[in-house]
Structure 1
């Protein structure tokens, strides 16, 4: 049965080494780090980090949220997935909607940045109610778009 649990470093490693191309590109453009290094860092600073496993127990999506140290009450959600997400899209969407509702009870604002070329992720974020800002160029020279949502 497809299910979600707290992520382990083994789960993070598996997803990092099998990450979707768009996620690899986004991490590279945003940080210049490997997906594994970025995910380990994100896991260390996050308030919670979870994994979605397929029916065989194989992890295919890691997601978490960190508190923004510069803005009180702001959560910084993030997610990396493998191509197995496509086969488990319905369950993934159910988890995402419910986790998103959960985050809105913990934080007053949710915000992060996405690669401006990652149109599939941006459409999905918009479907969850995020506002997607126009693209800007990040410090590494790539176009990114801020996504954000306030509780009120």
Structure 2
């Protein structure tokens, strides 16, 4: 697996191949075609990357300015089933990307579908804090957890 800077074309290449849990989460959050939301997220992101396996886009991820909290970033990732093919790699590359996101946004915050257990476990393993309780979110008021990560800033 290689991770590289991405473009909207990489999001287009991933359309129609989202993991079922990602598809369900995007639908629950927005009530819109998840393939269209994937491209919109890529277009709106300040920083954008993709993970490729055998030269095929397996995931697209990035960070966008928060529409809810000024100065915060909304990290996101959507992927195909192949993204979980090598768990060791899947846990290694985000640790290089998260500091880059924090360079732009000291606080990273978003929501994850409470049904998306694999993503919740992965977010916790990547150092994100998870809210204790769910909140109703999206057009169907489905239960979502808020997750966040703050960059530690030392006062001088």
Report if TM-score (shorter chain) is over 0.5.
Answer: yes
Please state if 1:17 is matched with 2:9: no
**Residue matched to 1:98:** 96
8 Å Cα contact 2:8-2:43 kept in structure 1: no
8 Å Cα contact 1:52-1:92 kept in structure 2: no
TM-score, structure 2 as length reference = 0.88
* RMSD (Å), alpha carbons: 1.5
8 Å Cα contact 2:7-2:42 kept in structure 1: no
Q: Give every structure 1 segment of 4 or more consecutive aligned residues whose post-TM-superposition deviation is greater than 6 Å.
A: none
Give 5+ residue unaligned stretches, structure 2: none
**Residue matched to 1:122:** 120
8 Å Cα contact 2:107-2:148 kept in structure 1: yes
8 Å Cα contact 2:62-2:77 kept in structure 1: yes
Summarize the alignment of residues 2-151 of structure 1 with structure 2, pairs less than 5 Å apart. Answer: 2-54=1-53, 56-133=54-131, 134-139=133-138, 140-151=140-151
TM-superposed CA distance for 1:91, in Å, is 2.0
**Against the structure 1 CA distance between its residues 29 and 70, is the aligned structure 2 distance closer, same or farther, given a 3 Å change threshold?**
closer
Distance in 1 (alpha carbons) for counterparts of 2:15 and 2:112: 17
Distance in 2 (alpha carbons) for counterparts of 1:45 and 1:114: 19
